[in-house]
Amino acid sequence: MRYRIAAVASLAALSLSACAGGGTPATTTTAPAASGQELAVPTKPVTITFEEAMTIGTLKPAMEKLVSDFQAKYPNITVKLQGDPDYATMYTKEKAEVQAGNAPTMGQAYESWASYFQSGGALTPISELAGTDTPTEMSTFYKGVQKDLALGDGKTWMWPFNKSVLILFSNADMLKADGQAAPKTWDDYASVMKAVSKNGVTGSTIDPGSATAAAFGTQWFEILDKSNGGTLYDADGTPHLNDAGAVTALTYLKSLKDAGALATGKNYPGETALGAKKGAFDISSAAGYGFEKATVGGKFNLGISALPAGPAGPVNELTGTNIVVFKNASTDQKAAAWAFLKFITSPAEQAGWASTSGYLPVTAQALPLMQDFVAKNPYETAAVSELDTAFALPPHSWIFKCQGYEATAIQDVLDNGAAPTAALGTAQTACTAAKAQG
């Protein structure tokens, strides 16, 4: 396989055309890009591979649409999707592929994964593709998305892909019957949760995540911390997992659990409980709307609202991954990958992608092109506006481990009744050790 790609690539040694995407002026050579030179789209046949996990439900057709649109525009470029069943598998595959010297051209990656790959010299910086560290396309992205593309060295190493934020799903009928309004603050949320937790209903069920993977419950904790004015990690990745904000956040979760208003589970438990009318709320990704709707199955009105705010104002966290370009691709493949990245983040493609997949468009320019979808999904406007302010954890390789320690602390408190201070103290120690290990 590698041979074939190499052969194809060497055939395409010279690029003759000026068919660059995104309206930027094209150069006429594919020689390794010196600074200031954007890679031109190759005109000879070239195949690029993309390791991705958009393999289920509406995600799959949305992904395939992006590829077929791209191939229609650039018939000489073939995009081969290497689909994986889930993110954990995808990460393992990418690591194995890099180690075996047959990395894909591109792959989906969270920030901490990208940091790990970059530390091993496995990535191509965006500047090598675009000729600049800040390509013009970046300025069209939402601000939170823009900030999410750099690694610890401050350089741009990633390009946005399936981005979303968390939103609050609710059983609108249940809230109405109980005379409750959509909560505006986390304090409101706690009192509504406690009020509706009766007759077999538990306010909400969350997945706290595990030692090897964060889940929406982990992110909720991170959001609560920040909305309490806390900072879980400094920009250089120094953890503050047992600072006041974090302890307050976890104590908040514990009080809900102790009041019988919060339960824990696995495999999207909040969605399940909501659908079974055994839960009033579910904090989940905006991209999960299609799944929530299917689970509810028309049994009641599905309410959707922005996350409540904390003392430090409204806070949201980015979910989803970016795309990285691996190092050992040929120049033509890199050029083709760059064309692909620009293409899929163009407004028209983002509009189509967002409408089908449920993920949020990364550029506001897509919204006018998806008015039908926005009209049918009124939460979309509010959700995308949060992309400007949503935060992401700093991109360091150990953050992946440390999120596991966060999740473990949440489990210890909610499942085992441990004291938040003690559990977070353990997490802090472990995370500090992980940072020292690098």
CB of 363 to another protein, least distance (A): 21
- Nearer to another protein (CB atom), residue 38 or residue 317: 317
CB of 129 to another protein, least distance (A): 21
CB of 220 to another protein, least distance (A): 16
Interface with another protein, residue 198, by CB under 8 A: no
Binding segment for another protein (CB under 8 A), chosen from 9-17, 147-155, 201-209, 334-342, is 201-209
CA–CA separation, 302 vs 90, rounded Å? 32
| Sole binder of another protein in the list 91, 221, 281, 340 (CB under 8 A) | 91
- Nearer to another protein (CB atom), residue 88 or residue 244: 88
Residues of span 384-403 touching another protein by CB under 8 A: 397, 400-401
| Sole binder of another protein in the list 24, 37, 71, 82 (CB under 8 A) | 82
Contact at 8 Å (CB) between 324 and 106?
yes
CB of 326 to another protein, least distance (A): 11
- Nearer to another protein (CB atom), residue 204 or residue 248: 204
Which amino acid makes up residue 37?
Answer: Q
Contact at 8 Å (CB) between 264 and 346?
no
- Nearer to another protein (CB atom), residue 242 or residue 346: 242
| Sole binder of another protein in the list 143, 299, 312, 422 (CB under 8 A) | 299
Residues of span 25-54 touching another protein by CB under 8 A: 53
Interface with another protein, residue 271, by CB under 8 A: yes
Binding segment for another protein (CB under 8 A), chosen from 11-19, 78-86, 305-313, 388-396, is 78-86
Residues of span 405-424 touching another protein by CB under 8 A: 405, 408, 411-412, 415-416
- Nearer to another protein (CB atom), residue 272 or residue 365: 272
Classify residue 354 by burial, with Cβ atoms within 10 Å: 0-12, 13-18, 19+: buried
Interface with another protein, residue 265, by CB under 8 A: yes
Residue whose C-alpha is closest to residue 377's, from 438, 274, 269, 287 = 287
- Nearer to another protein (CB atom), residue 395 or residue 404: 404
- Nearer to another protein (CB atom), residue 91 or residue 186: 91
Interface with another protein, residue 163, by CB under 8 A: no
Interface with another protein, residue 298, by CB under 8 A: yes
Interface with another protein, residue 244, by CB under 8 A: no
| 3-class SS letters over 293-310 | HHHHCCCCCEEEECCCEE
Classify residue 382 by burial, with Cβ atoms within 10 Å: 0-12, 13-18, 19+: middle
- Nearer to another protein (CB atom), residue 248 or residue 295: 295
- Nearer to another protein (CB atom), residue 22 or residue 83: 83
- Nearer to another protein (CB atom), residue 102 or residue 231: 102
Give the number of other CB atoms < 10 A from CB of residue 438: 8
Phi and psi at 170, nearest 5°, equal -145, 165
Interface with another protein, residue 194, by CB under 8 A: no
Interface with another protein, residue 322, by CB under 8 A: no
CB of 332 to another protein, least distance (A): 21
Residues of span 347-386 touching another protein by CB under 8 A: 358
First-to-last C-alpha distance (Å) of the chain: 34
Residues of span 120-139 touching another protein by CB under 8 A: 120-122
